[in-house]
Amino acid sequence: MTYNEAQAELEKILASLRSDTFDVDTLAEQTKRAAALLTECRARLTRTEQELAQVLEQLEADTQG
């Protein structure tokens, strides 16, 4: 699953929770799924941030050296 797909699923879950036809019987399941998606999104953002930092450090070293 891509980051954008996970984000879209999170938005779908949120819309479901906000709707007038909210199904309380699936609340725990939807909350667990949302938590898992949030964890994955945060991990992907952290990895991307680290990769960008490395690229920028290398670029800076290349331009100074």
Give the span between the Cα atoms of 50 and 55, in whole angstroms: 9
Considering its fold, how many domains does the chain have in total? 1
Give the span between the Cα atoms of 26 and 56, in whole angstroms: 44
Range of the domain at 52: 3-64
Helix residue ranges per DSSP H, 1-65: 3-18, 27-64
Asked whether the beta carbons of 6 and 35 are under 8 A apart, the reply is no
Please say whether the dihedral angle defined by the alpha carbons of residues 33, 34, 40 and 41, taken in this order, is positive or negative. positive
Question: Do you know the residue count of the chain?
Answer: 65
- Please write the tens of the pLDDT for every residue from 3-46: 999 999 999 999 998 988 888 899 999 999 999 999 999 999 99
- Is the model's pLDDT at 1 over the cut of 90? yes
**pLDDT score recorded for residue 2:** 95
